Amino acid sequence: MADVVQYKLERMLNELDDLERRGLFNRREIAEIVKQRRKFEYRLKRPSPLKEDFVAYIDYEKRLDELRLLRKKAMLKQSGGKSKNWKKSVSDSAGTARIVDIYRLATTRFKGDIQL
pLDDT value for 87: 78
| Euclidean distance between CA atoms 16 and 25, whole angstroms | 9
Percent of the chain exceeding pLDDT 70 equals: 91
Q: Kindly tell me if the per-residue pLDDT of 83 is higher than 80.
A: no
DSSP state of 111: T
C-alpha to C-alpha distances, 83 to 20, 29, 32, nearest whole angstrom:
16, 23, 28
Mean pLDDT, residues 84-110: 88
C-alpha to C-alpha distances, 11 to 7, 77, 91, 94, nearest whole angstrom:
6, 31, 12, 11
